[in-house]
Amino acid sequence: MEALLQKHYNIVTSEITTLDGYISENYKIKTEGEPYVLKVYPFSEAVFEDVMGEVAFVKHVSLNKRQISHTLPNLNGELLTITEQENQKIILRLLTFIEGDFLANTEHTKDLVYEFGKHLGQLDKELKSFKNNALQSRRLEWNLANLELIAPLSEHIFDPSNRKIVEHYISQWRTKISPIFPHLRHSIIHNDANDWNVLVQEDGFGLIDLGDTSYTAIICELAIAAMYIGTGKEDPIEWIAEMVKGYHEVYALEKRELNILYYLIAGRLVTSVCKSAEQAKAQPDKTYIQISENGAWQLLKKWIQVNPLYAQNEFYNACGFEKTIIEETNILIEKRHSLINRGVSISYSNPIQMDSAIFQYMFDKDGHRILDAYNNIPHVGHQHPKVVEAAQKQMSQLNTNTRYLYDSLNEYAEQLLDKFPNSLNKVYFVNSGSAASDLAIRLAQNFTNRENLGVVQHGYHGNTRAGIEISQYKYASKGGRGKSKRIIEATIPNVYRGQYRDEFAGQKYAIDFLEQAKSTSPMAAFIAEPIVGCGGQVPLADGYLRHLYPKLKELGTLCISDEVQTGFGRMGSHFWGFEMHGVTPDIVILGKPIGNGHPMGAVVTTTEISEAFNNGMEFFSSFGGNPVSCEIGKAVLDVIDGEDLMKNALEVGCYKKQLFNELKKDFPVIGDVRGSGLFLGIELIRDDNLKPNTELASRIKNELRMANILVSTDGPYDSVIKSKPPMCFNKDNAEELVDAFNRVLTTKK
């Protein structure tokens, strides 16, 4: 190298050190005088053209040779030297050395970030008129326009709960960014103002490495730099907004660019972690390439909790644009009531205008990030990308009904039945828990040729006529028509506030019910939820079903387990609630989590029961078991297993319960903390006689909502806080919930 430098540039080197680099080998050259950078590229026509493009870039902009590396001519006056090294044809390129401290090593101040924004704005303003064929024809993975080149690399990300974040942003990119990206303002930009390519100087900034310079949407310049500015910050948006402000002051941004900046920054994060994951597999020792990986993951995990509307409004604000005005909640409610009956209720004293959601976070139109500690329907997480993708793909391919043959029906049925004991080996697909419970009752009445049905007090099983008839929670409450004569009501086996509270309580409740049933004609079926949800998250007393089921079966009564709330691993310890009770039902009802929000339900039963139902009358559900639903159902099961969500429910659920139990020690108003896995009920009381504290439950629910945390209330007195979050709920989330709960209890009203 020394000899080549001497020969072609007449430079006498005092020291050569290797610098990090991607495509070229880079060296820092110390001389008696000023230092230089030498880049050595393997020769090809294409590389030559490409590097000449970079030279033209530097020529075009007004940055001096201390601010951007200028290429210095060799002794023949040529900017690039073509020569040989160890029989390989190479290109030598000598550059001015840019002094300064890397932005990555500099303490960031708002002022610095603002100035940096201005600097990039100025650069892009000048580049607007720059044209260069070589640079324009670069097809780089690091150009956000080519995010599809990056997408397949996500498979190298080892941890599925990390991978899902990346897949989410890729999915969002496809629907939100791809259609508009080509319409944005384009030009050649530097495209890699990362904090190891930017040098902070006394009076400005230096910029190195034009290796990623590309023709792309101009806003990408800002997005890429913003990613690094946001990294490691408590409030990344605040810092990025400062840079946006500086940039906009010099080179005006358009609203439509600001609208997608949040996703472009996510796109760069995705590129960064995917490339790192790929490199980590290919070259585990190249630390340079992985340098920003940890920071990028931290920011991605933070980014997922940023409401995109909040980001947009902050960026608007930085540029002096009006924030997006949303419709007043009262007006929306009024309109809704003019169209939809008030019986279709709205939660919270201060209802929420929802805009979007991801995993365990929801985002309202006001820009808040809301922790979802309540909704169990988005079981594997709101908008899980695997579920979204499954739906989108199948929706655009085929959606029909069970009268035709298609693979997904058999595949899904097999995958779902695999989760059940061998005796439960037939499935009917419907579209809701209500349709499932209705069908379950039909199956039972058909099989037994009996009418009577046993139900548990405070149980809820659905909104159809049959559903209401078997739901004491409905028929015995406001507006209900009371118990029909076919119904035999079992006292809820509640060990907290029921008649029996000791270790034999389960058996005692069961004996009582069997006694009670003796006086009526035999039942077709007995239906119960393993934890009575609407009844206030009351786990059936231990031993209740274990004692009851065999006796009922002896009487020819079928046992139905309503797993709409308790199924799919939510219990943490078991995949189905009935397994927790050590029993096997004859019929199982599935709903809510089965489709992660897509309207699905299912009834699982034995061959015998389903054969009896095949009595000549066709069973047909227009939508039940359609290919889209089946693909979604498969994806849900894949995610539960792939992300080990049952284990998460167990670990986080235990931790959450422990935190609530600790809180209970300080606040006697917390009477009981109960449930399993990520299915908890916190019962609020007034005194030692367990007088229900309905007002406090309501206050907690509403104050948590104001703190942007979702829970709800239930139970016969509406005095139980229920928390059944998406299964990806984590320990930080549990702490956030319990801390906020603590704050509400601490502030006396």
- Binding residues for ligand PMP, rule: CB under 6 A, are 432-434, 437, 460-463, 529, 533, 562, 564-565, 591-592, 601
Q: With respect to ligand PMP, which residue has the nearer C-beta, 187 or 457?
A: 457
Q: Least distance from C-beta 464 to ligand PMP, angstroms? A: 8
Q: Least distance from C-beta 532 to ligand PMP, angstroms? A: 8
Q: Cα–chain-centroid distance for residue 455?
A: 37
- Collapsing DSSP to helix, strand or coil, 299 comes out as helix
Q: Least distance from C-beta 599 to ligand PMP, angstroms? A: 7
How many other CB atoms are found less than 10 A from the CB of residue 88? Answer: 10
Q: Least distance from C-beta 467 to ligand PMP, angstroms? A: 7
Q: Extract the tokens encoding 379.
A: 């079981």
**Which residue number places its CB atom closest to ligand PMP?**
433
Q: Using alpha carbons, select from 549, 461, 543 the residue that is nearest to residue 505.
A: 543
Q: With respect to ligand PMP, which residue has the nearer C-beta, 427 or 745?
A: 427
Distance (Å, whole) CA 136 – CA 188: 7
Q: Using alpha carbons, select from 150, 155, 211, 156 the residue that is nearest to residue 178.
A: 150
Residue pair 166/28 in contact by the 8 Å Cβ criterion:
no
DSSP of 593-653: GGGBTB--EEEEE-HHHHHHH-SSSPP--SSTT-HHHHHHHHHHHHHHHHTTHHHHHHHHH
Q: Least distance from C-beta 450 to ligand PMP, angstroms? A: 22
Q: With respect to ligand PMP, which residue has the nearer C-beta, 26 or 437?
A: 437
Q: With respect to ligand PMP, which residue has the nearer C-beta, 230 or 530?
A: 530
Q: Extract the tokens encoding 331.
A: 């007006």
Q: Least distance from C-beta 471 to ligand PMP, angstroms? A: 8
Find the angle CA(684)-CA(685)-CA(687) to the nearest 5 degrees.
160
Find the angle CA(346)-CA(347)-CA(348) to the nearest 5 degrees.
125
Q: Least distance from C-beta 459 to ligand PMP, angstroms? A: 7
Q: Least distance from C-beta 657 to ligand PMP, angstroms? A: 21
Distance (Å, whole) CA 280 – CA 719: 52
Distance (Å, whole) CA 366 – CA 356: 11
Q: Least distance from C-beta 533 to ligand PMP, angstroms? A: 5
Q: Using alpha carbons, select from 683, 602, 223 the residue that is nearest to residue 436.
A: 602
Q: With respect to ligand PMP, which residue has the nearer C-beta, 345 or 396?
A: 345
Q: With respect to ligand PMP, which residue has the nearer C-beta, 274 or 589?
A: 589
Residue pair 137/214 in contact by the 8 Å Cβ criterion:
no
Look up residue 449 and give its DSSP letter.
T
Q: Least distance from C-beta 529 to ligand PMP, angstroms? A: 5
Distance (Å, whole) CA 215 – CA 222: 14
Q: Cα–chain-centroid distance for residue 183?
A: 28
Q: With respect to ligand PMP, which residue has the nearer C-beta, 437 or 606?
A: 437
Q: Least distance from C-beta 568 to ligand PMP, angstroms? A: 13
Q: With respect to ligand PMP, which residue has the nearer C-beta, 260 or 440?
A: 440
Q: With respect to ligand PMP, which residue has the nearer C-beta, 269 or 424?
A: 424
- Collapsing DSSP to helix, strand or coil, 735 comes out as helix
How many other CB atoms are found less than 10 A from the CB of residue 75? Answer: 11
Q: Least distance from C-beta 424 to ligand PMP, angstroms? A: 18
Q: Extract the tokens encoding 195.
A: 């904090």
DSSP of 375-442: --SSTT-BT-HHHHHHHHHHHTT----TTS--HHHHHHHHHHHTTS-TT--EEEEESSHHHHHHHHHH
Q: With respect to ligand PMP, which residue has the nearer C-beta, 127 or 720?
A: 720
Distance (Å, whole) CA 344 – CA 697: 21
Q: With respect to ligand PMP, which residue has the nearer C-beta, 67 or 432?
A: 432
> Scanning the structure block, which residue is given the tokens 């640079």?
135
Q: With respect to ligand PMP, which residue has the nearer C-beta, 67 or 561?
A: 561
Q: Least distance from C-beta 623 to ligand PMP, angstroms? A: 13
Distance (Å, whole) CA 687 – CA 668: 8
Residue pair 588/427 in contact by the 8 Å Cβ criterion:
no
Q: Extract the tokens encoding 194.
A: 């990362």
Q: With respect to ligand PMP, which residue has the nearer C-beta, 11 or 560?
A: 560
